[in-house]
Structure 1
Amino acid sequence: MGLLFLALLLMVGSTASADEDAFIGVNVGTALSDMPDPTQVVALLKAQQIRHVRLFDTDRAMLQALAKTGIHVTVSVPNDQLLGIGQSNATAANWVARNILAHVPATNITAIAVGSEVLTTLPNAAPILVSAMNFIHSALVAANLDSQIKVSTPHSASIILDSFPPSQAFFNRTWDPVMVPLLKFLQSTGSYLMLNVYPYYDYVKADGAIALDYALFRPLLPTKEAVDRNTLLHYTNVFDAVVDAAYNAMSDLNFTNIPVVVAESGWPSKGDSSEPEATLENANTYNSNLIRHVLNNTGTPKHPGIAVSTYIYELYNEDLRPGSVSEKNWGLFDANGVPVYILHLTGSGTVLANDTANQTYCVAKDGADKKMLQAALDWACGPGKVDCSAMLQGQPCYEPDTVAAHSSYAFDAYYHRMDMADGTCNFNGVATVTTTDPSRGSCIFPGSGGRNGTITNGTSLAPSTNSSVSGSPLKLLHRGDLYPCFMLLGLVLWTGVV
């Protein structure tokens, strides 16, 4: 599979205010057969410096795990709760008390998404959508939280008709009785239009009319750019065209000062035979370019420099989602915290891609068979040419004297000595990659670039001349129980067997 790593520095610009800067967030879906527990999810968010998340519900355990992290959280009113809230002010107030007031200020809830794509997926609830938003907002006002927590609702971009050129776009007139009061609500409360933008679907449905490069943000020759014949503005990607179509659709209804936040956008990394463009490389390209585009505060041709903050869909691949193969493969990570692909962010101007090579470690799997660990340890300190002298009695990494602890040190040393090449953190299935530094006290693991081995670009430069001290001495050093488990949230996945 090769090296996979994710580097997201999701806040840029130290001099501009938060109101001026765009951000990248992620959606956190839960349709996984092996859904990580909330503490693992939050650990992954923190490790990746993801500062904005959108939840599709108000799961109590997740909101508690997010407490005191500073992460900006958008929670959601699920569609199946919308009718009750939209028909009763008291029900809405109770929902706010139970799901919002119980968690703030410890949990930094900044927005409530009322339903999802209600006009197109639950049209019978459309007449009470704005009522639900108003009732929830009233409860926030009563709690003096209305300035901190905005209320909106995500829309499918399909409610915009005649979307290119963007200057002639308008909302489906069928929804005017909803859209007009909805936009009035957003304007009066200082909120924003939430829009789901999926160039992947635009590309697929266009049946060749849209170039793949145009959908993926790839550079275009000036002659290949799409030109709005009414404004003469040039469009180099589908994303900007859709966002500007939303601005123009609002303008068509005489609303000109409501910002757009993209609640969902992404690209699937895998598809079936009928989905040939759902590939790792295309997903990588789209999301990398999207992050770069948003965080550079490029704006759109109609509104250059105006932030279009965006939530990537999504954090995890959701294998339990119904539908085609692509429906299950929008995630940046698998359930075990391993990234699906590298994001190409290095050299992206104000977008800074962290060098995470020295922030990943290879450790023994929690609960791994002791005999298999011992065999892998013997191999690492023998044929693997790892310098295991730090684990000798009296040396910094002797304690704790367990096969798991010593194996973790040896595994990490080999992993970095081999420049994290394919297969170098497997050891017949008893090793795993983690983002949690396993160093302890004076025992600094090689991946930390500390005293027990110098790390340059992820490669251990520690000499291997002492890797076989008195044959295989480490067999004499393991008498205790397994060392407590390490976090299994991984930043890198290696396949193959050592």
Structure 2
Amino acid sequence: MSPKRLQGVVMLLMLMVLNVSGAFVGITIGNDMSNLPSATDIVAILKAKKIQHVRLIDSDHQMLTALANTGIEVMVGVPNDQLLRVGQSRSTAADWINKNVAAYVPATNITYIAVGDEVLTNIPNAALVLIPALQFLQSALLAANLNTQVKISSPHSMDMISKAFPPSTATFNSTWSSIMSQYLQFLKNTGSSFMLNAQPYYSYVGGQGVFPLEYALFRSLSPNGQISDPNTNLFYTNMFDAIIDATYNSIQAMNFTGIPVLVTASGWPWRGGQNEKAATVDNALAYNTNLIRHVLNNSGTPSQPMNQSSTYIFELFNEDLRSGPVSEKSWGIMFPNATTVYSLSFEDVATTIPESPALRGMFCVANSSAPHGALKHSLDWACGPGSANCSAIQPGQPCYESDNIVAVASYAFNDYYHRTQSSGGTCSFNGTAMITSTDPSHGSCIFAGSTGANGSDGGTASGPVSPDSFASKSQSCWLTHLVAALLAILVM
């Protein structure tokens, strides 16, 4: 087999595996602070919190060394103050790659380079060097044979979108049309992602009451407070999804498709000044907890249900040297002395359902007489803010039924009920659900609480079954066949 053909097969396998793995949640580490902990201490924190993805604002060599052999995926950054030199000189760009990437891989798992940060809106005078910087760095990666492992992009602010709501009519600011077209073409050519700093906090504060706080925090909205896009009739249970869809529509408005959105910063400040009432510990904890659950749920957005956006929480430490109001210095989940502002779990809490003997044989199902519109609202909430594990009702999964919203909603409602009943969750869903003792399980679609009576094996289950178990089994089987097929090609 020729080297080029071999490389193509390997790339295909990598893409398939990455597609199966789903979205991830990582964290950003800034350095604009008085007392930054040592690199060794930071890596110890990442390991303790089981964080597997980290975004560095720069390419700190001590951090890159400390991250070696940890398996943690690393995004490094070209700071804005280095952008001009990199974008004006091909040799400078090559030198940057050699010193900050090539010198550390493969021991340090560098997978992305973020070139600048919100360049077009923060330092518009440097806009003309952004595309050359991307191209020069890409050429250097090619020369170092690192272009398949490391992708390049540039984070953009939400201010790039003139009017984000409704999402279906969102477009990029026409001032940057030429540069955005070149940027999107670069992403398309290199298989990279559109990097977006998605911060609902700013949209909520800037909206001055247009949207409720619950909408920004992924919390449940009242039936009368449902928010929909009037052009598509898609309902949005949270502002984060609306921002993502606005970005996808802005990309499509420039005649580009197939470019995924990667959220390089999203979070909520835990402290603010007198005029920053929304910046509280409670709100920060609620936002980041719900964001993690939402991203790891892999349910996508209303207009992009199959496209999950991996997200980096902003940020690990408070940056006391940042300019601006109090809130700008208070986005961290930890203080620089390694004490926590609030506790946050980065694990997928939605993958397992705790055993609840009291609910064995009891099921929360959709009321078939409820209006389909109301069922859709409740289903969106269950799979969004409710954090039900909805992976089993995605296309291709055992509980997916494209034309039966009652069956699909029943699975989501029941998963939510079994997951949360011990902590106060109910089977209500605004009157669209009810309790039944009739097991709705069928075939390989097993509902939480099933005793196996209606299951395909007819046996007794040892406990509620996580839908992920079916997904992971089918994915494992699929990957086994894929690897076998590719190995057959390799030996030809």
TM-score, normalized by length of structure 2? 0.67
Which residue pairs with 1:134 in the alignment?
135
Which residue pairs with 2:389 in the alignment?
none
Which residue pairs with 1:203 in the alignment?
204
Counterpart of 1:292, as a letter, is R
Which range moves more in the overlay, 280-289 or 337-346?
Answer: 337-346
Which residue pairs with 1:350 in the alignment?
351
Cα deviations by residue, 1:439-479 (Å, 9 ceiling, x for unpaired): xxxxxxxxxxxxxxxxxxxxxxxxxxxxxxxxxxxxxxxxx
SS of residue in 2 equivalent to 1:161: coil
Q: Supply the distance in 1 between the matched residues of 2:110 and 2:347 (Cα, whole angstroms).
A: 31
Q: Supply the distance in 1 between the matched residues of 2:306 and 2:17 (Cα, whole angstroms).
A: 12
Counterpart of 2:127, as a letter, is A
Counterpart of 2:162, as a letter, is L
Decide whether the 8 Å contact of 1:284 with 1:344 is kept in 2.
no
Whether 2:293 is the aligned partner of 1:292: answer: yes
| Cα distance, 1:187–1:291 mapped onto 2, change above 3 Å | same
Decide whether the 8 Å contact of 2:333 with 2:343 is kept in 1.
no
Q: Whose helix proportion is higher, 1 or 2?
A: 2
Cα deviations by residue, 1:47-94 (Å, 9 ceiling, x for unpaired): 111000000111111110111111100000011111111111111001
Whether 2:116 is the aligned partner of 1:115: answer: yes
Mapping for residues 293-372 of structure 1, pairs under 5 Å: 293-343=294-344, 348-350=349-351
Which residue pairs with 1:472 in the alignment?
none
Counterpart of 1:89, as a letter, is R
Decide whether the 8 Å contact of 2:300 with 2:306 is kept in 1.
yes
Counterpart of 1:287, as a letter, is N
| Cα distance, 1:148–1:336 mapped onto 2, change above 3 Å | same
Q: Supply the distance in 1 between the matched residues of 2:62 and 2:234 (Cα, whole angstroms).
A: 47
Which residue pairs with 2:458 in the alignment?
none
Q: Supply the distance in 2 between the matched residues of 1:244 and 1:121 (Cα, whole angstroms).
A: 23
Residue correspondences, number = 339
Which residue pairs with 1:274 in the alignment?
275
| Cα distance, 1:313–1:150 mapped onto 2, change above 3 Å | same
Q: Supply the distance in 2 between the matched residues of 1:20 and 1:304 (Cα, whole angstroms).
A: 16
Q: Supply the distance in 1 between the matched residues of 2:350 and 2:50 (Cα, whole angstroms).
A: 18
Larger relative CO (CA 8 A, sep 6+): 1 or 2? 1
| Cα distance, 1:17–1:84 mapped onto 2, change above 3 Å | closer
Decide whether the 8 Å contact of 1:32 with 1:318 is kept in 2.
yes
Q: Supply the distance in 1 between the matched residues of 2:269 and 2:160 (Cα, whole angstroms).
A: 22
SS of residue in 2 equivalent to 1:231: coil
**Superposed displacement of residue 322, structure 1:** 1.8
Which residue pairs with 1:249 in the alignment?
250
SS of residue in 2 equivalent to 1:240: helix
Decide whether the 8 Å contact of 2:293 with 2:348 is kept in 1.
no
Counterpart of 1:45, as a letter, is L
Q: Supply the distance in 1 between the matched residues of 2:135 and 2:353 (Cα, whole angstroms).
A: 40
**Superposed displacement of residue 20, structure 1:** 4.4
Q: Supply the distance in 1 between the matched residues of 2:257 and 2:34 (Cα, whole angstroms).
A: 44
SS of residue in 2 equivalent to 1:283: helix
**Superposed displacement of residue 178, structure 1:** 0.4
Q: Supply the distance in 2 between the matched residues of 1:105 and 1:140 (Cα, whole angstroms).
A: 14
| Cα distance, 1:299–1:107 mapped onto 2, change above 3 Å | same
Q: Supply the distance in 1 between the matched residues of 2:113 and 2:258 (Cα, whole angstroms).
A: 20
**Superposed displacement of residue 282, structure 1:** 0.2
Mapping for residues 211-226 of structure 1, pairs under 5 Å: 211-226=212-227
SS of residue in 2 equivalent to 1:112: strand
Q: Supply the distance in 2 between the matched residues of 1:138 and 1:52 (Cα, whole angstroms).
A: 25
Which residue pairs with 2:241 in the alignment?
240
Whichever of the two has the greater Rg, that structure is 1
Q: Supply the distance in 1 between the matched residues of 2:263 and 2:295 (Cα, whole angstroms).
A: 10
Which residue pairs with 1:143 in the alignment?
144
Cα deviations by residue, 1:324-360 (Å, 9 ceiling, x for unpaired): 111111011111222211338899522899xxxxxxx
| Cα distance, 1:50–1:352 mapped onto 2, change above 3 Å | farther
Counterpart of 1:268, as a letter, is P
Cα deviations by residue, 1:343-390 (Å, 9 ceiling, x for unpaired): 38899522899xxxxxxxxxxxxxxxxxxxxxxxxxxxxxxxxxxxxx
Mapping for residues 367-378 of structure 1, pairs under 5 Å: none
Q: Supply the distance in 2 between the matched residues of 1:189 and 1:126 (Cα, whole angstroms).
A: 20
Decide whether the 8 Å contact of 1:160 with 1:169 is kept in 2.
yes
**Superposed displacement of residue 212, structure 1:** 0.2
Decide whether the 8 Å contact of 1:20 with 1:307 is kept in 2.
no
Q: Supply the distance in 1 between the matched residues of 2:145 and 2:353 (Cα, whole angstroms).
A: 37
SS of residue in 2 equivalent to 1:170: coil
TM-score, normalized by length of structure 1? 0.66
Mapping for residues 416-495 of structure 1, pairs under 5 Å: none
Decide whether the 8 Å contact of 1:292 with 1:351 is kept in 2.
no
Identity %: 54
| Cα distance, 1:181–1:345 mapped onto 2, change above 3 Å | closer
Q: Supply the distance in 1 between the matched residues of 2:346 and 2:63 (Cα, whole angstroms).
A: 29
Which residue pairs with 2:190 in the alignment?
189
Q: Supply the distance in 2 between the matched residues of 1:351 and 1:151 (Cα, whole angstroms).
A: 35
Q: Supply the distance in 2 between the matched residues of 1:185 and 1:310 (Cα, whole angstroms).
A: 21
Q: Supply the distance in 1 between the matched residues of 2:337 and 2:118 (Cα, whole angstroms).
A: 30
Which residue pairs with 2:370 in the alignment?
none
Q: Supply the distance in 2 between the matched residues of 1:124 and 1:55 (Cα, whole angstroms).
A: 24
- Runs of 4+ aligned structure 1 residues displaced above 4 Å come to 15-20, 344-348
Q: Supply the distance in 2 between the matched residues of 1:351 and 1:54 (Cα, whole angstroms).
A: 28
| Cα distance, 1:347–1:29 mapped onto 2, change above 3 Å | closer
SS of residue in 1 equivalent to 2:97: helix
Q: Supply the distance in 2 between the matched residues of 1:285 and 1:38 (Cα, whole angstroms).
A: 29
Whether 2:96 is the aligned partner of 1:95: answer: yes
Counterpart of 1:188, as a letter, is N
Decide whether the 8 Å contact of 2:318 with 2:335 is kept in 1.
yes
Decide whether the 8 Å contact of 1:25 with 1:51 is kept in 2.
yes
RMSD of Structure 2 on Structure 1 (CA)? 1.8
Q: Supply the distance in 2 between the matched residues of 1:348 and 1:132 (Cα, whole angstroms).
A: 40
SS of residue in 1 equivalent to 2:320: coil
